[in-house]
Amino acid sequence: MSGDGVQRAHDPAGLARLYQRLRRPPTAHTVAGALPVLFFGDLFTAEIATVGLNPSDHEYVDQRGIELTGGQRRFETLTSLGAASRMTLTDDQCARAIETMRSYYQREERVYSWFRGLFRVIEAMGYTYRAGQVAHLEVVQEATRPAWAELERMAPLETKTLFAADREFLRWQLRNFAPRAVVCNGRTVFDEVRGIVERGRIVSSGELARLTWYVGLGHVDGQPIGLAGWNLPLARATGLGAEGERDLGRLLASELRRIGGL
């Protein structure tokens, strides 16, 4: 997978698709000046993809809504790139934004705390983000302000439109970069991914503390892909704790290997 992924990093058609997504105009509640987060970490080398709903606004701004700068910056913005708008981004500016996304986990002090639970799950599965074995994707690539749950209440048409448009980009990512397995943080995300892949089905499930976990299989362009997930995002009160999250990772890895999904 790694060699194929690195090759795709230099594929003109693949880069064109990534650049096209970066240049798509923001919606009304996109964080001002933010770019869509196409991925966290090195998708070009990753064997596993974790998936969330959408990026937090705190990847771009502080608690007061002021853009992160200097050593606090996590991603490139229109300001950091010196661009007037997304639509005017040059290829060089797009390439710089993508390189910053690929190196997200290499700057440990800037990784958002939301990832702590996923770190423990994934490391217990035998993989790490920092080694380039795992990348994180989003069903919706736009960071919004307000956060997604509130945005769904106040602007349901906007969230529906984002879901429809960004789902297709996620489908393309899974086809083009072909991770061996996808690990979904929350039932909404799991259902979305299961609907995106071909013949996605749940093979086994169970309970751990307040979580219900699921493991299944799907296909992407005829190739099998493992599916795993759970019902509650790890940032909520799951009852797991740090060791419980590691137990979840070991359990999911065992189940995925048992059914040939890892």
What is 161-187 written as a DSSP string?
HHHHHHHHHHHHHHHHH--SEEEEESH
Write down the pLDDT at residue 3.
46
For residue 202, the cross-strand partners are 216
Domain count, the chain: 1
Write down the pLDDT at residue 113.
84
Write down the pLDDT at residue 14.
87
Domain that holds residue 144: 2-258
Angle (CA) 92 95 100, round 5°: 130
Q: Beta strand 198-208 with 134-138: parallel, antiparallel or unpaired?
A: unpaired
For residue 208, the cross-strand partners are 211
Write down the pLDDT at residue 108.
74
Write down the pLDDT at residue 7.
52
Write down the pLDDT at residue 9.
56
Write down the pLDDT at residue 8.
56
Alpha carbon of 90 to those of 33, 85, 87: distances in Å?
Answer: 16, 10, 9
> And the tokens for 158?
């906007």
Per-position DSSP letters for 235-258, written without gaps between them: TS--S-HHHHHHHHHHHHHHHHHH
Whether this prediction's pTM lies above 0.85 is answered by yes
Residues of the chain falling short of pLDDT 70? 1-10
DSSP-derived 3-state class of residue 131: coil
